[in-house]
Structure 1
Amino acid sequence: MQRTNNTEVTVFILLQLWDSPDGQIVFFISFVLIYVLTLTGNLIIIIICRVEKTLCTPMYFFLSHLAALEIGYISVTIPKMLHNSVSGVNSISFVSCLTQLYFFGSLGSTECFLLAIMAYDRYLAVCKPLHYHTLMTSRLCNCLVGCCWSCGFISTMSSILFISTLHFCGPNQIQHFFCDISPLLKLSCTDVHHTETLIFLLASVILVGSCLITLLSYFRILSTVLGISSKAGRGRTISTFASHLTVVAIYYSTMIFVYVRPTTANASSFNKVLSVLYTVLTPFLNPFIYTLRNKEVQGALRKLNHWVILPVQTSPLFS
């Protein structure tokens, strides 16, 4: 049902994750630390994957792009939230809201596609090792990554165009700490049925489709790993597999719960807390789960540390 108020809303008000002043300080410090650690961890991955020749493999090529995605993904929401917390000004313009929503949706969609590609890459490496290097060529890797980024940003554009045509007549308080789809659509005073349907279909295809490919690849890997004769090798692989699957499960389960729903009637304040898992927690954990625990990466870090320290030790200033 349309609202009769014709006053057009051009500025929205975002909420904070915390309500009490005491909790605000704790949350602010925690999120600053998480944000800095996330940027540092992902930047390290990008640097060592580009510099270290032993890491010039398809797996680390995909991981470097995942790291770049995580930097953009967390930077779309957290800096604005922290700025609002410090300044006390929680307003955001309609254009800025759509811009944040576009980049958030685009980077999220790209990450879904990339996670599916990474899982398929590991399936080929574990289950078809003799054909792996023939199948996963550098040209194919570049094409797959290009498709992930292109499809992620193109698929989100249609949703943003639909939302940009809606009218907002008040209230203007978004029940979230960033501009998300469901809380924003709830504020529209025009019919959002077609927009909801489009977003539901896109989210279903992107999230559920990439999730199925990812899980199927991991379960095929698990069945192959269980056939390994070496108990030590099987134990290490299963440990790595379990940590990867845990992060993937958290990311997809929360995203599907929030976005693969046909109406905005289900939108609630609980989503505000739940969204922290895929906007903050997974970008923070991914560098440690996927990369920094690997022996190859640890060796590259030690080598990089040696390159940085050695010139300082041999400098005339220290002689």
Structure 2
Amino acid sequence: MKRRNVFRAVAAAGVGALVAPSPAFAAGPPALVTNPAQADREFVLWLSVHDPRRSVREAATAALATAAQVTTFLASGYQAALDQAAQIRAGHLDFANSKAAAHPASTFPWVAAAARRALEGTDAELAEFAGTGYAAALRDDQAGIAYDDGAALVTPADWDFLSTLVALDAGTSIYQRARFVDTDADLAEFLRHGLLSAAAVDLDLLRAQYVADEWAKWPELRFRTVQAVEIDQAARAGTASPATAVRAWQDLINRFNRQPSYWSQGERLTRTRSEAWGRVSQRAGASSTFYLDPIVGGAAAVRGRWLTETSNAAERSAWWTTLIRYAEDTVLDWMHS
């Protein structure tokens, strides 16, 4: 094919203005281009770290043992692990709901409180209640240990902290729970448990969302990349047209070119959250009370988790940028050939 026909193919594919080769091209092709099996393994490793469900992370970690297990995990194992995690969560929810219904707060205050916390909390909190939490709370109720709702220890400084917290944009779950704090007992429960539990819920929801998005895109991304590489190689060998190679790369670009900005937005969000939790820690430290003192360290730990998410978002943005730029530079390479 003559070069002018490549230009026509590029124009038809919708390629924008030409630019100089990017650092991504100069640094060499990404693993998904040169070694899809290695890219598969790296993706499973990423899932083993970032999926919010413990059983799924464990299944992903186990799959890293061999290349064959990685392939099987991506083909069917991950979905099976998701299904199992959903079944486990449903079982824990049923257990907590049944215990809450059978143990009213008037006669079983410890069980009622523990069940409520589990139902409002993370998967890990649900699992803890089903594992040991219910039995421990029941022992306290059966032993006649008085349940202290903590209202007597609430101070005006604690209420001031709550007012400030609502304005700090620390997370959706934080705001939702804070809205229902009306009494000293409500505030005591929120400060000694609800605040940090809600923070963990927000983090788990974020991770579940971006993991689901990456997982949904992976099969098509892998297929389109491998296909583009094969067509590109055939075009360079003279057994396929350069225009076909250009279209394959441009199809990949058009399909996934929003991913870098998606992750850049995630980076900004998580950085904002980390800054908010830094302010939460500082605000809690400004007034020493029975409830605020533990929040200083707890909020700092939450800030650290958001910073970890910021790093992950930056890494994923860079990963997608490298792949998209490689595809763009390959098109440019055909233009110059």
TM-score by length of 1: 0.36
TM-score by length of 2: 0.34
